[in-house]
Amino acid sequence: MITIKNLTKIYDKGRTVALRNIDLDIEDTEFVSIMGTSGSGKSTLLNMIGGLDVPNEGTIEVMGENLSKIKLSNYRRETLGFVFQLHNLIPNLTCLENIELPLFGNSNSSSQMKDKAMNLLRAVDLDEFANKHPKYLSGGEMQRVAIARALVNNPKVILADEPTGQLDSENSEMIMDLLEEKQKETNATLIVVTHDFEIAKRADKIIKIRDGQIES
Ligand SMILES: Nc1ncnc2c1ncn2[C@@H]1O[C@H](COP(=O)(O)OP(=O)(O)OP(=O)(O)O)[C@@H](O)[C@H]1O
Ligand SMILES: [Mg+2]
C-alpha cells in the first residue's frame, strides 16, 4: 500500500537531517502508529507521505504510484485524509462548510455535499454546531470537526499527526474510535503519530523513530 525506500529529508542546507535513509512498508488496511521523541522526524515523515513536503532522496509509493511522478493536489484530494496536530480549520467558514471543503472539485451536488458533511458532523456528535464558526468551539470540539473534514471523502489513506494531542482521555478515545470505525468501514490504511502509548497500542503495529531513523 505504502512503500518507502531510502527516504532522506534534510533541512537548513544540510544542518538538520530530519530523516535518514528510511525504509518502510505499510500494508493495505493496516493501522500503524508512529512514536518517538520531539524532533525525531515523525511529522516530517507523515508530511512526505501526505504529499505536503518532498524528500531529498528516496521514493514513496502509495497504491503503486510514485509520489514524485503524480499530481500531488489530486492525490491529496482523492486519496488522502489528513488530520493536523493543530486543527487548521478555516475561521470564517462554519463547521459544516469546513467539512464540505474537500468535496469541492469532486462531482457532488451542493445538497450531496451538505448531506455528507452533516453525516460526519453527526458522527463526531457536533451536529448542533453545524452553522457556528470554529471560534465558538472548544479545542477538542475543533479537533473533532477537523477529523470529520479529513474523513468526508472516504479516503483510502488516513494520516493523523497527534490527533488527540490536546484532548482529554474521554475525547481521545472518541476520536480514536471514530478514526478506527471509519478505517474499517472504508478499508483504509491508517497512520497515527502519537506520544500516547494508550493510543499507540491500539494499532496493528508501532513504529518507533529516533533521530530520523526507524528503531528496530
Ligand atoms: N520546515 C523546517 N525547516 C527546518 N527544520 C525543520 C523543519 N521542519 C522540521 N524541522 C526539523 O526537523 C526535525 C524533525 O522535525 P519533526 O517536526 O518531523 O519532528 P517531530 O517528531 O514531529 O516532533 P514533535 O513531536 O515535536 O512534533 C527537527 O529537528 C526539526 O527542528
Ligand atoms: Mg510533529
Which ligand 1 atom lies nearest to the CA of residue 41?
18
Q: Using 50, 70 and 90 to split pLDDT, how confident is the model at 108? A: confident
pLDDT number for residue 20: 96
Residue 131: give its domain's CATH number. 3.40.50.300
Query: What percentage of residues in the chain have a pLDDT greater than 90?
Result: 74
Is residue 58's pLDDT more than 90?
Answer: yes
Q: Please tell me the residue having the least CA distance from ligand 1 atom 27.
A: 38
Q: What is the pLDDT of residues 5-18, one digit of tens each?
A: 999 999 988 889 99
Distance from residue 10's CA to the centre of ligand 1 (Å): 10
| R_g of the chain, CA atoms, integer Å | 17
Count of structural domains, the chain: 1
Is the CB of 86 within 6 Å of ligand 1? Answer: no
pLDDT number for residue 175: 86
Is the CB of 43 within 6 Å of ligand 1? Answer: yes
Q: What pTM does this model have?
A: 0.92
Is the CB of 47 within 6 Å of ligand 1? Answer: no
Nearby residues of 46 by Cβ (< 8 Å), 6 or more positions away: 34, 159, 161, 191, 193
- The residue assigned the cell 531510502 is 6
Is residue 86's pLDDT more than 80?
Answer: no
Is the CB of 36 within 6 Å of ligand 1? Answer: yes
**Residues 163/6, Cβ–Cβ less than 8 Å:** no
The lowest-confidence range among 53-57, 82-86, 144-148, 181-185 is 82-86
Q: Which domain holds residue 126?
A: 2-215
